[in-house]
């Protein structure tokens, strides 16, 4: 199937590894031009090297910025040319007791997980509407619908992201621009793999054992395994494609069946 992405340019926030990298890689595989992002020169350069090795003809470049720092975001926006596809992927996550989450940590979560999408969308949406074509995709989470008690800050920001995506879609009325959110489920990204390894080391067990225990403790997953980043990327590809033209303002699941509600 031709996803008709080879004349498009995309920016993917937080894409040196994990789900963002998988999305950047998938878009390059479809012939799109892609701008990746991460917090450090070395992280971005390493990701660019891996992508250029796999796709020698790729039109791929990188912009370094920490979405927790508004000044760095401002610099990134100044360097970001017109894009057809914006993937708001960057996001922090981590277990924390509600009592232990400081105001600064709440602000950091909102800056990285929500304001990144606000700032980037504000920068590109007007141009997409003026050109009458564009795609804004938020990489959200089932945790934004079913808020985890041990990750309230994460769940609250993912709920805000869902609201933002739905609201922004209303600004696209009558155009060929769409704004949609992916509700991802437990995905074995690099960040999650790091966490699993840390837990396994602390418990002196093998990472595979910890990985199986986490999925075993998830009472609703139909998939019964972690999702692979490429499985999220495949849905992102569809939402980025002109083929998804009738899907707008939606929350589309790639959650492995974790959410139990019918709609």
Ligand X SMILES: NC(=O)c1ccc[n+]([C@@H]2O[C@H](COP(=O)([O-])OP(=O)(O)OC[C@H]3O[C@@H](n4cnc5c(N)ncnc54)[C@H](OP(=O)(O)O)[C@@H]3O)[C@@H](O)[C@H]2O)c1
DSSP letters along 181-224, please?
Answer: EEEE-SB--HHHHHHHHHHHHHHTS-HHHHHHHHHHH-SS-SS-
d(CA 175, CA 128): 9
| Cβ 162 to ligand X shortest distance, Å | 12
**How far apart are CB 19 and ligand X at their closest, in Å?**
3
Rounded Cα distance, 65 and 63, in Å: 6
Residues lying near ligand X in the complex (CB under 6 A) are found at 14-20, 37-40, 43, 66-68, 89-91, 93, 112, 139, 141, 184, 186-187, 189-192
Residue 67 · residue 77 · CB < 8 Å: no
Q: 21 vs 32, which CB is nearer to ligand X?
A: 21
In the complex, the smallest distance separating the C-beta of residue 139 from ligand X, rounded to whole angstroms, is: 4
* Shortest reach from residue 192's CB to ligand X, in Å: 5
**Rounded Cα distance, 29 and 214, in Å:** 32
Active site residue 154: yes
129 vs 230, beta carbon nearer ligand X? 230
Scan for tokens 């992508």, then name that residue. 51
* Token pair of 193 as six digits: 């793999």
- Report residue 90 as tokens: 């960057």
| Cα–Cα dist 129/167, whole Å | 15
**Residue 36 C-beta: closest distance to ligand X, Å:** 8
The partner residues of 135 in beta bridges, in order of sequence, read: 85, 178
Structure token digits, residue 130: 């003026």
For ligand X, the closer CB: 66 or 84? 66
* Nearest to ligand X of 18, 165 (CB atom): 18
CB of 173 to ligand X, least distance (A): 27
Say which of 109, 154, 188, 238 is annotated catalytic. Answer: 154
Residue closer to ligand X, measured from CB, 2 or 150 = 150
Q: CA 162, 151, 259: angle at the middle one, nearest 5?
A: 55
Q: Rounded to the nearest 5 degrees, what angle is found at the Cα of 68, between the Cα atoms of 27 and 115?
A: 70
Q: Which of 135, 130, 131, 160 is nearest to 145 (CA)?
A: 160
Paired tokens of 205: 């067990």
Nearer to ligand X, 19 or 27 (CB): 19
- Among all residues, which ones are annotated catalytic? 154
């Amino acid at each position: 199937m031709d996803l008709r992405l080879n004349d498009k340019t995309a920016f993917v926030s937080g894409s040196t590894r994990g789900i963002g990298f998988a999305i950047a890689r998938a878009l390059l595989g479809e012939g799109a031009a892609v701008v990746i992002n991460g917090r450090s020169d070395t992280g971005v350069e390493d990701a660019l090297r891996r992508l250029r090795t796999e796709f020698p003809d790729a039109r791929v470049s990188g912009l370094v910025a920490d979405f927790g720092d508004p000044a760095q975001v401002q610099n990134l926006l100044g360097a970001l040319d017109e894009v057809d596809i914006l993937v708001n992927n960057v996001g922090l996550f981590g277990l924390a007791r509600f009592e232990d989450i400081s105001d600064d940590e709440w602000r950091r979560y909102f800056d990285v997980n929500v304001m990144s999408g606000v700032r980037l969308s504000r920068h590109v949406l007007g141009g997409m509407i003026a050109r009458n074509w564009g795609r804004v995709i938020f990489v959200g989470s089932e945790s934004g619908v079913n808020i985890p008690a041990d990750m309230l800050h994460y769940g609250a920001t993912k709920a805000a992201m869902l609201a933002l995506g739905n609201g922004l879609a209303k600004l696209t009325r009558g155009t060929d621009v769409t704004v949609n959110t992916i509700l991802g489920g437990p995905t074995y990204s690099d960040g999650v793999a790091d966490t699993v390894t840390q837990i396994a080391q602390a418990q002196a067990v093998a990472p595979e054992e910890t990985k199986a225990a986490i999925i075993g403790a998830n009472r609703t997953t139909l998939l019964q395994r972690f999702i692979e980043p490429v499985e999220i990327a495949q849905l992102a590809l569809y939402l980025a494609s002109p083929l998804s033209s009738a899907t707008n303002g939606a929350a589309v699941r790639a959650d492995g069946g974790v959410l139990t509600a019918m709609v």
